[in-house]
Each structure stands twice: as C-alpha cells, then as structure tokens.
C-alpha cells in the first residue's frame, strides 16, 4: 500500500491524489502540518526528505520525493493502459518531460504567489505573478493551436498524460495568488476537460465541472 505524506492545501500533493484517483490506486495518508506547524521542516520529516518538501510517497519501502518524479513512477507502475506515461514512445516521453519541467516553472511562480498571499511567505510576489503570466501565455497559445489541430491535451497524444496532471493544480489555484486566468480562454477550456476525466477529484479551491453534453 502506498503511503502519501500529504498536505491538503498543497497543489503538488494534489497532483498525486489526482493521478492515484484516476488510476484507481489505493493509498493511505500521513498528514503533514505544512502551515502553520512547519512540520515539513521537522526532524522526523527531514529524515524522510532532507529537502524538507512535500509530497513524499513510500511504496512498500521505496521512498520517493518530488511531485513530477512520483507522477512518472506511479504512471509507470500502476497505469495498465499505458497512456499516462507511454514508455514505448520516445517522442512523447520527451514532450512529457518538457512539460513536467514547465510544471515546475508554474510551481516556482504561480504557487509562490499563492504562498505569499495565502500563507504569508516573504516572496517577490510581483515577480512571481509576472512569471506565471509569461508561462500562461505560452501554454494558452499552445493549447489554442492544439484545439485547432484537434488535440485536447498538452502533449500530442489522443489521451491525457501526466503532463496535464502536473500543470493542472497550480493553474487552477492561481487566483489564490492574484493571477486571474481571464486572458487565457484556451487554458480555461482545457481545465474543463481535465475536470471531466474519470476519477477526477477536487481540493479546496478547485471546483468541479458539469458533465459534457452527451454525444
């Protein structure tokens, strides 16, 4: 059984809850009081992750940190369909890695702005917001042309990949960091599509979508 070291309001932890829910994987949660307890910097947690960051999983003794790395592991091990991280498609794996790094960029900007606004972190919030807008412009353009080409997801596969999961949370939570998504209509439509995936779950600040029109 997987153990997830989890903080309910963390978008990075939410990425793993999302994917595990969609894959139908069971897990148990060890809550870590990120705020205000700063438990992720406590002695017991630093033994698990010396970086003092969430999330961490423990899968039968295999301890992994870093949300993107854990997404790769979970999809490789537990996705019977092989579509979330298609190991036999090098071009797609390259694309996925590229967008996983992009997701890290979103974390470094949109999530930083949210930590500043919601959890009072001492960050340069204007720089963080400007950085997030720069990334959102790039993603909106990418998704808009994707729609024109008949592509629904971030990577050029007909199914969603872990790149979609990695980018989704901190985009959906961006308004909590003072970053509106009004100028990114293609991102907003893609968010609807992610929310309609089977097994989708919500977290505080992420609302569900209604059903798509039946074909």
Partner 1 sequence: MLDLAKTRWHPIAAGYDLPLRHVFHGQLLGREFAVWRADDGYVNIWENRCLHRGVRLSIGINDGRELKCQYHGWRYSNRTAGCTYIPAHPADAPARTITNRTFAAVERYGLVWSAEEPQGEVPEIPGLAEGELLALRGIPVNAPADVVAARLKGYRFQPNAALDGKDAKVAVEASNDFTVALRAVEGGAATLAAFFVQPVDSNRSVIRGVLDGKVEGAARLAVLRHHNELLSALRVAVEAEAAHKPAPAPLEPVIERVSPELAEMPEETKHGRKATIRVQVARKWPAADGIAGFELRPIKGLLPTFQPGAHIDVHLPNGLIRQYSITNGPGESDSYVIGVKLERDSKGGSTCLHETVREGDVLAISEPRNNFPLRRDAVQTLFIAGGIGITPLLAMAQALKNQSLAHELHYFAQNEAQLAFPEKTSTLGASLKPHLGLSPDQTGAMLREILSGYGPDKHVYLCGPGPMLEAARHIAAEMGWPETAVHFEYFKNTNVIDDSTSFEVALARSCMTLTVPAGKTILEVMRDAGIDMPSSCEQGACGTCLATVIEGEPDHQDVYLNDAERKSGTKIMTCVSRAKSARLVLDL
> Interface residues with partner 1 (CB under 8 A)?
141, 144-145, 147-149, 181-183, 185, 188-189, 192, 207-213
Tokens 């992009």 map to which residue? 102
φ, ψ of residue 212 in degrees (nearest 5): -70, 165
- Give the separation between CA 23 and CA 118, rounded to whole angstroms: 31
> Smaller CB distance to partner 1: residue 6 or 176?
176
> Between residues 65 and 181, which has the closer beta carbon with respect to partner 1?
181
Tokens of 193: 């599509």
- Tell me the sheet residues that pair with 63: 58
Asked whether 53 and 108 are in contact (CB, 8 A), the reply is: no
Min dist. Cβ of residue 175 to partner 1 (A): 9
Least distance in Å: CB of 146 to partner 1? 11
Q: Which is nearer to partner 1, 118 or 209 (CB)?
A: 209
Instruction: Kindly report the backbone phi and psi dihedral angles of residue 128, in degrees, each rounded to the nearest multiple of 5, phi listed first.
Output: -65, -45
Closest separation in Å from C-beta 173 to partner 1: 13
Please say which residue, 124 or 183, places its beta carbon nearer to partner 1: 183
28: phi then psi, degrees, rounded to nearest 5: -115, 155
- Min dist CB 46 to partner 1, Å, is 38
| Min separation Cβ 141 and partner 1, Å | 7
Q: 88: which residues sit within 8 A by CB, 6+ positions away?
A: 82
Which C-beta is closer to partner 1: that of 198 or that of 213? 213
């Amino acid at each position: 059984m997987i153990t997830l070291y989890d903080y309910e309001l963390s978008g990075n932890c939410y990425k793993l809850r999302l994917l595990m829910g969609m894959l139908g994987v069971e897990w148990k949660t060890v809550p870590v009081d990120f705020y205000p307890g700063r438990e992720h910097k406590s002695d017991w947690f630093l033994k698990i992750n010396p970086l003092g960051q969430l999330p961490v999983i423990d899968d039968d003794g295999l301890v992994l940190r870093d949300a993107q790395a854990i997404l790769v592991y979970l999809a490789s091990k537990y996705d019977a369909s092989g579509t979330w991280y298609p190991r036999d498609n090098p071009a797609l794996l390259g694309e996925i890695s590229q967008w996983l790094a992009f997701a890290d960029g979103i974390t470094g900007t949109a999530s930083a702005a949210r930590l500043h606004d919601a959890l009072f972190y001492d960050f340069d919030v204007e720089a963080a917001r400007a950085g997030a807008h720069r990334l959102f412009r790039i993603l909106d353009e990418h998704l808009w042309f994707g729609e024109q080409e008949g592509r629904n997801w971030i990577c050029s596969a007909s199914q969603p990949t872990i790149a979609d999961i990695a980018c989704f949370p901190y985009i959906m939570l961006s308004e909590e960091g003072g970053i509106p998504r009004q100028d990114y209509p293609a991102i907003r439509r893609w968010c609807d599509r992610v929310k309609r995936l089977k097994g989708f779950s919500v977290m505080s600040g992420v609302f569900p979508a209604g059903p798509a029109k039946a074909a």
